[in-house]
Amino acid sequence: MSKIFRVRKILCRCVLMMMVVVMVNGWDVDGHEAVGMVAMSALDGRASNQLKRLLQGKDAVEDAGWAHKAESAIPWSKPLHFIQQPEPFSNTLVINDITCPDGQCLLEAIKIFYDQAKGDTSKSSQKDRLMRSATRLPVQVTDADAVRFLINLIGDMHQPLHEGSLTDDFGRKTLVALPNGSVMSLYELWDHDIIQST
Give 6-20 pLDDT, tens digit per residue: 434 443 343 333 334
Inter-residue contact 157 to 126 (CB < 8 Å): no
pLDDT band, very low/low/confident/very high, at 50 (cuts 50, 70, 90) = confident
Question: What is the per-residue pLDDT for 93?
Answer: 63
Question: What is the per-residue pLDDT for 21?
Answer: 40
Three-state DSSP string of 26-70: CCHHHHHHHHHHHHHHCCCHHHHHHHHHHCCCCCCCCCCCHHHHC
Instruction: Give, as one character, the DSSP assignment of residue 84.
Output: P
CATH architecture type of domain 26-197: Orthogonal Bundle (1.10)
Q: Cα(98)–Cα(85) distance, rounded to whole angstroms?
A: 9
Residue 186, C-beta contacts closer than 8 angstroms, at least 6 positions apart? 161, 168, 171, 172, 174, 175, 176
Indicate whether this model's pTM tops 0.75: no
Inter-residue contact 26 to 193 (CB < 8 Å): yes
pLDDT band, very low/low/confident/very high, at 39 (cuts 50, 70, 90) = confident
